[in-house]
């Protein structure tokens, strides 16, 4: 019988991108606010967007960062790193160059005190296998993000899972992004389109099209995904708003994935980190687009003891509400859901630190 899990509450600073870009807060200010407002103890950061000169991190800055995190009582969970093979104008990185590019970022994660590096979905099984000894050398778990338009049972993800099993390294795993398992378009996104002049008729058709795809289940492959993307573009053009077509397609297929909650069971033993992706909180205090309560219950029942980074994605279009209030509302839902499932969210830093270390040390059993 599986012991109930007690996930660690946390947040990614990505949720506060609008406030960061607007210079309301700098990095230190966001870290201090995260601690003061109780959004932690888990702290996730995106390397390239938060650290000047990343992945080059000198000892002085690393010391300052770790001292700050310790001072305010937070626990570093995941550092988001990139797999950009197109960083040169005239060519793509070859495999050796990609591995070295990733190695530098993994080293930076270790220097900054992050036990997990979130890897992007574009990394192939061969590359992950080559990165396993790099991860082991630096003591950093590589958690590849499963993000819409893909999902846990997608052939590319299953190929990675199977390779992980062959390699047998405890330093290879996944980050589960809840955006792969949504139940509808965010009301705030519909409102943003309304503010851009989209008609009520067009908005109803966009919702209907997403619901049609949701009923059919997630796209079977990239060709299926492309067809869905194209239908959003065509819908906008047919209704006199071709300027919204690509936006409909990106959001309709890349942010709001229609996989079912229990799809995560395909890779559950390899889930080392979770992105609690969400888009807003309604008047009743619930998230209408993401089944947060069902997702928390699944994690609790499956014995998950890692961190959940609340990842508010609505900042892309929602300029009229405070991301800080929205994060507080979503984390309240998480805590309530964990209690309803017979467990709790970990909010004490010392307990979180010890539990995360034990979670990452666990061997993977399929």
Task: Per-residue pLDDT tens, the chain, 366 aa: give them.
Answer: 689 999 999 999 999 999 999 999 999 999 999 999 999 999 999 999 999 999 999 999 999 999 999 999 999 999 999 988 888 888 888 889 999 999 999 999 999 999 999 999 889 999 999 999 999 999 999 999 999 999 999 999 999 999 999 999 999 999 999 999 999 999 999 999 999 999 999 999 999 999 999 999 999 988 999 999 999 999 999 999 999 999 999 999 999 999 999 999 999 999 999 999 999 999 999 999 999 999 999 999 999 999 999 999 999 999 999 999 999 999 999 999 999 999 999 999 999 999 999 999 777 765
- Same domain? For 100 and 247 the reply is no
* 1 in any annotated domain: no
8: left (phi over 0), alpha (psi -120 to 50) or beta: beta
Q: Which of 254, 286, 312 is the last residue of a domain?
A: 254
- The set of residues, in sequence order, having a beta carbon less than 8 Å from that of 100 and lying 6+ positions away, is none
> Are residue 85 and residue 169 in the same domain, yes or no?
yes
Between the two ends of the chain, the Cα-to-Cα distance in Å is 15
Is residue 121 helix, strand or coil?
Answer: coil
Note whether 305 and 340 are same-domain residues. Answer: yes
Active site residue 273: no
The model carries a pTM of 0.96
Nearest to 140 by CA among 117, 108, 165: 117
Among 49, 250, 271, smallest CA distance to 145 is for 271
Q: Are residues 108 and 246 in the same domain?
A: no
Residue 90, domain member (yes or no): yes
Residue 172 lies in a domain: yes
- Distance CA(366)–CA(116), nearest Å, equals 21
| CATH code at position 286 | 3.20.20.150
Same domain (yes/no): 33, 176: yes
Q: Are 332 and 271 in the same domain?
A: yes
Separation CA 227–CA 230 (nearest Å):
5
Q: Are 7 and 292 in contact (CB under 8 A)?
A: no
Identify the sign of the CA torsion 47, 157, 344, 311: positive
Please give the sequence-ordered ranges of beta strands (E in DSSP) within the chain, or none if there are none: 8-12, 42-46, 75-80, 116-119, 141-146, 172-177, 271-278, 307-312
Q: Is 128 part of a structural domain of the chain?
A: yes
Q: What residue numbers bound the domain in which 146 lies?
A: 8-183+257-361
Phi, psi (5° rounding) for residue 40?
Answer: -90, -160
pLDDT number for residue 15: 98
For the chain, how many structural domains are there in total? 2
- What whole-number distance in Å separates Cα of residue 309 and Cα of residue 275? 5
Whether residues 176 and 202 fall in one domain: no
Q: Does 334 reside within a domain?
A: yes
> Does 239 map to a domain?
yes
Residue of 21, 88, 147, 316 marked catalytic: 147
Q: Are residues 115 and 18 in the same domain?
A: yes
pLDDT of residue 57: 97
- The sign of the CA dihedral 128, 15, 347, 37 is positive
């Amino acid at each position: 019988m599986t012991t109930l899990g007690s996930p660690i509450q946390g947040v990614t600073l990505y949720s506060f991108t609008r406030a960061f870009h607007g210079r309301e807060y700098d990095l230190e200010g966001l870290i201090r606010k995260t601690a003061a407002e109780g959004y932690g103890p888990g702290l996730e950061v995106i390397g390239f967007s938060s650290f000047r000169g990343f992945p080059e991190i000198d000892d002085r800055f690393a010391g300052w960062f770790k001292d700050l995190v310790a001072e305010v009582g937070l626990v570093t969970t995941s550092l988001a790193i990139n797999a950009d093979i197109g960083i040169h104008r005239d060519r793509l990185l070859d495999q050796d160059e990609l591995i070295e590019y990733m190695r530098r970022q993994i080293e930076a994660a270790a220097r900054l005190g992050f036990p997990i590096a979130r890897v992007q979905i574009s990394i192939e099984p061969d590359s992950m296998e080559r990165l396993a000894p790099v991860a082991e050398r630096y003591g950093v778990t590589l958690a590849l993000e499963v993000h819409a338009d893909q999902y846990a049972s997608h052939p590319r993800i299953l190929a990675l899972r199977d390779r992980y099993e062959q390699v047998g390294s405890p330093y290879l795993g996944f980050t589960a992004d809840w955006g792969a398992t949504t139940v509808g378009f965010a009301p705030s996104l519909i409102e943003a389109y309304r503010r851009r002049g989209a008609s009520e008729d067009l908005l109803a058709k966009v919702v209907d099209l997403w619901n049609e795809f949701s009923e059919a289940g997630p796209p079977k492959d990239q060709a299926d995904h492309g067809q869905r993307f194209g239908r959003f573009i065509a819908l906008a053009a047919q209704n006199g708003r071709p300027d919204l077509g690509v936006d409909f397609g990106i959001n309709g297929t890349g942010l709001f994935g229609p996989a079912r909650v229990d799809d995560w069971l395909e890779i559950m033993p390899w889930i080392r980190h979770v992105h609690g992706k969400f888009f807003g909180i309604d008047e009743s205090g619930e998230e209408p687009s993401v089944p947060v309560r069902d997702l928390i219950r699944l994690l609790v029942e499956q014995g998950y003891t890692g961190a959940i980074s609340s990842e508010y994605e609505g900042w892309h279009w929602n300029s009229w509400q405070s991301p800080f209030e929205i994060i507080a509302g979503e984390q309240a839902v998480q805590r309530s859901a964990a209690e309803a499932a017979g467990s709790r969210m970990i909010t004490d830093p010392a307990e979180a630190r010890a539990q995360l270390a034990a979670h990452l040390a666990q061997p993977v059993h399929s």
